[in-house]
Amino acid sequence: MSDYAFVADRAKKVFASVSRLESRLAERPSDRAVQINLSAMRKLAIQVREEMERLAALNQMEICQYRIIPISENGYGLGRVSKSLLEYQNLFSQIYDAFKNGIKSKATFGADVIEESSLNFAYSYSGSLGVALLARSNRDFFGGALDKSIDALYQILDIDDSFAVRDAAKTLGTSVIKRVHDWSLANVEGGFSTDIRWKKSDGKLFGQVIDRSRMERIVGFIDEASDKVTKREVFEGILVAVSLPGKTFQIVIPNADTYSGKFADGLNLPNEMTVGRMYSATVEIVEVFYYATQATKRTVSLIELKGPIMPKQI
């Protein structure tokens, strides 16, 4: 076993002992022996953590301290805790993917990204619910493979309105925005604030507490953010359905597209409207892409209808 693996295993045992002694002290707060043992074990935990950080730097490992802080008495439901951690991993991997493979509109990444950005469990510790996560980073003279991802993680958590959401989407992709939304929502629903601190192998420290109320605002900003595209198309097609009371229509271009939707305000209809006949149509198409769901809502409005016309002879 390497020195690093040995110390990591020792850290798991030491921090587990700290948690057990803290639980015992809560049951017997006046027990002097437990107090002394806990004090000694806490000192040992600090030494082990420092040793692990030293060896992590030598082995080019980045350390993330991820602490979950419940804001109510609901505690740590397993499903909610695991979802918080899983969505954090997905967010980190999606950011890494954006730098490696370019920005994406869909929240997906390949097996290579999963392998290269994987956060591995080192040990847990008390003080709310803390988990030390390890990520391997290949570091050279110019920096580490995960440096940009770690920097971007904190930058994107600073979004404070829907305009900032759109700006972040331009640089990192709507896929990352989707992951930020899902991670924030997981903690909002779980009733958690989080404390995320990175100790990088070059010695630099990053960290901040993200309150549940702040994550709730992030969810709201992303829910509001969307991209809207409006265009007009002119074509000839067969009127296959129309409803004057409902102000709806459906027109099919033979061997091509189908358009269905509502009448636009102020639409002047032809005197003759016969289902099955060919017409010249102008429609306005509005497509709205929602960052939070990555769903696109498409609406079609009939702007102008002329005809009937004779079908083109082939």
CA–centroid distance for 99 within its chain: 15
Non-local CB neighbours of 235 within 8 Å, separated by 6+ positions: 253, 257, 259, 280, 281, 283
* CA Rg value for the chain: 29
d(Cα 48, Cα 58) in Å, to the nearest integer? 15
Q: Are 201 and 56 a contacting pair, CB within 8 Å?
A: yes
pLDDT at 314: 45
The DSSP secondary structure of 78-104, one letter per residue, reads: HHHHHHHHHHHHHHHHHHHHHHHH---
Global confidence as pTM: 0.79
Cis peptide before 308 (omega within 30 of 0): yes
pLDDT (tens digit per residue) in 228-245? 999 999 999 999 999 999
So what's the pLDDT on residue 62? 87
Task: Quick: pLDDT tens for 245-278.
Answer: 999 999 999 989 999 999 999 999 998 899 999 9
pLDDT of residue 126: 73
Q: Mean pLDDT for the chain?
A: 87
Which residues, 6+ apart, have CB-to-CB distance to 32 below 8 Å?
none
**pLDDT, average across residues 42-65:** 76
pLDDT grade, residue 3 (50/70/90)?
low
